[in-house]
Amino acid sequence: GAVVSQHPSWVICKSGTSVKIECRSLDFQATTMFWYRQFPKQSLMLMATSNEGSKATYEQGVEKDKFLINHASLTLSTLTVTSAHPEDSSFYICSAREPLSGSRGNEQFFGPGTRLTVL
Amino acid sequence: DAKTTQPPSMDCAEGRAANLPCNHSTISGNEYVYWYRQIHSQGPQYIIHGLKNNETNEMASLIITEDRKSSTLILPHATLRDTAVYYCIVRVSNTGNQFYFGTGTSLTVIP
């Protein structure tokens, strides 16, 4: 149980285009999902926290108009990188969490990541 | 911001116990310590977590000092597949329960 998937697993796009990444919780309902970014040989950096049905909360320094997050259902959150540039090339990872009242409410379950390359 | 410090790298002989230390001297009383690991180009994998008491599961043991300012993750019999970056995380204690990852320890298990 507690499987999180991401789609696509990798994507290459041209500079200036937008890319959408999906994060799905396959066998549980995720009231909260998190988006991280990881550059080569670096740690994961939290970008934003999204709660189902409400606006995402972005970490300091993360542009909310560039990284659009939608969490419209309890099993799906999307991250759209708008007007992508080469410096946006990175490994994007999502995680999902059950309601705090659940037995696993304290854990985060991570997706396999999406590698974005912007040419 | 990350609230933990870990050594950047460690080696361990295959079959031996791997002991990975973590300092979290500013931890608050209701904050948990989590351990995750990340194998290259994959998402992090949950290992174990604890609050005050030592914990053990099928993967590892977690030893937390009495003052909670540090902890040690123990992999009792390291295998080559345990080669990964290990992250010690103090979970932020609010409604968001965010994880802020530190730099982690790159563990290499040597045959």
Indicate the DSSP class of residue B81. Answer: G
Q: Report the sign of the C-alpha dihedral through residues B96, A75, B85, B55, in that order.
A: positive
For the cut 90, the answer to whether the pLDDT of residue A107 exceeds it is no
Between B108 and A74, whose confidence is greater? B108
CA distance B40 to chain A (A): 10
> A54 falls in which pLDDT band (50, 70, 90)?
confident
Q: Is B33 exposed, middle or buried (0-12, 13-18, 19+ CB in 10 A)?
A: buried
- Give the separation between CA A56 and CA A53, rounded to whole angstroms: 9
Residue B6 vs residues B18, B87, B106: alpha-carbon distances, Å? 14, 8, 10
Dihedral Cα A79, A22, A25, A54, nearest 10 deg: 30
Spell out the per-residue pLDDT of chain B, length 111, in tens.
Answer: 668 999 999 999 999 999 999 999 988 888 889 999 999 889 999 999 999 989 999 999 999 999 999 999 999 999 999 999 999 999 876 656 788 898 999 999 999
Residues of B in contact with A34 (CB under 8 A): 98-99
Rounded to the nearest angstrom, the minimum Cα separation between A45 and chain B is 7
